[in-house]
Amino acid sequence: MKNKFLAAAAVVATIAVAASLLAGAQILPLPALVSTLLRWLAIFFIAAYATSRRSLTTWILVGLLAGAEFGHDWPSVAVNLQVLGTIFLRLIKVIIAPLLFGVLVVGIAGHSDLKKVGRLGIKSLIYFEVVSTLAMLIGYAAIHISRAGEGVHLPAASAAQSLNVSPHTATQLITDIFPENIAKSVAEGQTLQIVVFSVLFAMALILVPDSKRRPMLIFAESLSETMFKFTNLVMYAAPLGVFGAVSYTVGHLGLGVLLPLLKLLATMYVALAFFIVCVLLPIVMWASIPLKLFFRSIVEPVTLGFATASSEATLPSAMERMEEFGVPRQIVGFVLPAGYSFNMDGASLYQSLALFFCCAGRWIAPQHRSASFDDSDAADQQ
């Protein structure tokens, strides 16, 4: 029965796409309502498949598809649904601080091995630096191969608009790692500062006599277990939150907002695919990680992050999935949160793409649209 629902969804979706293409080419004029009903019918069959399978990941996909369709069909209503995505993201963010504190304190103070923590930190930082640099170089090469941005002419209003952005010095970046007030760090969502506080707290707890350390460890362990259950409860609302977020985005901006940036998006996704296949996949194989089981574990966090456009939304789910995968809690609690600040591979790749895309759009004037990246400086001087 499950496969029948999935097959029916594929057939109906194919018919809907074909009907839209034929109607757009005026080969087979059909009322717009026909294509709309076919798309909703395909989503219905996918929802039926999700119900029979009882998979949260599939329901998140249903929420994403239904949100995009709802925003496309009823944009005036969809723009009011942002509240659903906002509430879901707030519930996710409130989990992060207590969860990190509990997991790190139990993982570090429960084993009393500071040398192991130090080795783990050094290895993690080396990995973060090397892989993030590779991601940035891949993005740099991809944008110069595709030359996305050449010929893009910004409107005068956009070109004249200035951004009030103050650059961060290296000293300020290092200073911002350390919290001045843990309550302020929690309120502002400074994940790295929370990690630093939790690690120092756990190291201090190791130095406390066992009779006084034990109650705090029991509290931290109970706190982490409770927050994982809290995460499970919040994740039941994930499909609804994804539906609201995607509905608002499509209803507010429309699907056509992607068309002017299609070449940039294509470049980014091709570069990401190259990064995954040529960098991440060899690392996973070198570490002898079972691919099928690993991919099955990360499907839910990846789908959630893609739909909500928020990395914070994936952290509790990713931590739980990695523990289920078999990674020790102390490693999960230290490496994943630190990676959210130091190992932003996707962001590094995208920033290198976006930087040169914006430079091309800014430097190349209409009369110089055929100029290459090598001639950008000359065009700017003119």
* CATH code for the structural domain at 55-161+173-381: 1.10.3860.10
The domain locations on the chain are 55-161+173-381
Task: Decide which of 17 and 279 is more confident.
Answer: 279
Q: Is the pLDDT of residue 367 over 70?
A: no
Supply the pLDDT for residue 372: 42
Please give the Cα distance from 239 to 84 (Å, whole number).
10
Q: Which residue has the higher pLDDT, 354 or 180?
A: 180
Distance CA 50, CA 67 (A): 16
Radius of gyration of the chain (CA): 24
Query: Token pair of 221, please?
Result: 């362990």
At residue 380 the predicted structure's pLDDT band, cuts being 50, 70 and 90, is very low
What's the pLDDT at 219? 92
Q: How do residues 260-284 score in pLDDT, each as one tens digit?
A: 567 777 888 899 899 989 998 899 8
Give 12-77 as a 3 state SS string: HHHHHHHHHHHHHCCCCCCCHHHHHHHHHHHHHHHHHHHHHHCCHHHHHHHHHHHHHHHHHHCHHH
pLDDT (average), residues 302-314: 71
Instruction: Give the pLDDT band of residue 360 (cuts 50, 70, 90).
Output: low
CA separation for the pair 362, 170 (Å, rounded) = 27
Tens digits of residue pLDDT in 198-219: 888 988 888 888 888 889 989 9
Better-predicted residue by pLDDT, 268 or 159: 268
Does pLDDT of 157 surpass 70? no
Instruction: Give dist(CA 74, CA 272) in Å, integer.
Output: 33
Nearest C-alpha neighbor of 134 from the set 287, 274, 337: 274
**Tokens standing for 179?**
């919290």
Residue 113: pLDDT over 70: no
* More confident: 373 or 232: 232
Half-sphere exposure of 281 (CA within 13 A, CB side): 8
